[in-house]
């Protein structure tokens, strides 16, 4: 057999091999990103002491060991992602002025770089309280349901804050307070409070409840129903955009001339829409 007669056969074999490689895909497969295992949380109180990803594995009840105080989950490390896995953490403390419990709170940490997502916090005085004097760090809170809080659903102080797709309902069983709120976010940097539902229906004595409080940032596409002094209270360079607000004395309360607003819908406001 002559050499030139073998060339077509070699080409056929090469094409067959190439077809097998393409069908298998292994020759072109890229190395998958490593899967980071989450540290399971199966009890409360629980203290997060190291950076990493933490996952709640079941519904839990927080029973305070000292009076009606303490935190179900304490974040005592930087660079933490806390995923509640769709589960519920509830407090067994009395629903009155003695309850100072927190669903998720801080210990003394140098900075806050924290993500909290995907779960339910119920019957705490504060659902989430991430409050630091230096307000350093980044916080993302998303897809949380926080119900029946005594003082507030979410309170955050950080340099960069985003709170999105959360539901805050029935805040205000602690009626000894001067102010209750759904979401309060403040800091020297950027703040975005976007696409949240707030219905604070428990507070009935006076106009002391506020839906959203921010010192500077964008408050956009939120739905705020209830009663109290203001649906949204802004100061600093804030922008309220396309929110729906009902039932408050004031729709949007601006504590600074730098506050801007556009496209908001207010109804059933007693004193002023803006």
Chain segment 81-114, per-residue pLDDT in tens: 999 999 999 999 988 888 899 999 998 766 789 9
Nearest-angstrom CA–CA distance, 191 and 185? 7
- From 68, 73, 69, 66, select the one nearest 88 (Cα to Cα): 73
Confidence of residue 19 (pLDDT cuts 50, 70, 90): low
**Is it the case that residue 203 has pLDDT exceeding 80?**
no
The per-residue pLDDT for 179 is: 77
Nearest-angstrom CA–CA distance, 14 and 253? 74
**Is it the case that residue 33 has pLDDT exceeding 70?**
no
Query: pTM for the complete prediction?
Result: 0.84
The per-residue pLDDT for 23 is: 52
What's the alpha-carbon Rg for the chain, to the nearest Å?
26
Nearest-angstrom CA–CA distance, 190 and 159? 7
**What average pLDDT does this structure show over 153-182?**
88
The per-residue pLDDT for 178 is: 67
Nearest-angstrom CA–CA distance, 127 and 120? 9
The per-residue pLDDT for 18 is: 52
Largest separation between any pair of C-alpha atoms in the chain: 103
**Is it the case that residue 265 has pLDDT exceeding 70?**
yes
Confidence of residue 187 (pLDDT cuts 50, 70, 90): confident
């Amino acid at each position: 057999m002559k050499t030139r007669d073998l060339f077509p056969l070699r080409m056929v074999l090469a094409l067959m091999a190439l077809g097998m490689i393409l069908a298998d895909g292994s020759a072109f497969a890229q190395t998958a990103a490593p899967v980071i295992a989450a540290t399971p949380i199966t009890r409360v109180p629980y203290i997060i002491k190291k950076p990493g990803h933490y996952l709640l594995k079941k519904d839990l009840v927080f029973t305070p060991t000292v009076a009606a105080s303490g935190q179900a989950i304490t974040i005592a490390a930087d660079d933490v992602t806390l995923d509640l896995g769709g589960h519920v953490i509830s407090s067994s403390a009395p629903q009155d002025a003695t309850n100072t419990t927190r669903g998720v709170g801080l210990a003394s940490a140098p900075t806050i770089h924290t993500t909290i997502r995907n779960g339910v916090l119920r019957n705490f005085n504060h659902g989430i309280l991430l409050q630091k004097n230096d307000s350093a760090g980044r916080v993302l809170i998303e897809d949380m349901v926080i119900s029946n809080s005594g003082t507030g659903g979410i309170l955050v102080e950080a340099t960069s804050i985003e709170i999105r797709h959360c539901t805050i309902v029935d805040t205000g069983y602690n009626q000894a307070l001067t102010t209750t709120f759904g979401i309060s976010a403040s800091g020297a940097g950027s703040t975005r409070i976007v696409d949240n539902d707030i219905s604070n229906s428990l507070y009935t004595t006076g106009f002391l409840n506020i839906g959203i409080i921010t010192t500077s940032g964008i408050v956009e596409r939120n739905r705020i129903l209830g009663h109290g002094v203001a649906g949204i209270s802004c100061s600093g360079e804030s922008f309220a955009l396309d929110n729906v607000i009902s039932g408050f004395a004031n729709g949007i309360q601006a504590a600074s001339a730098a506050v801007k607003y556009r496209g908001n819908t207010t109804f059933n406001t007693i004193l002023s829409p803006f």
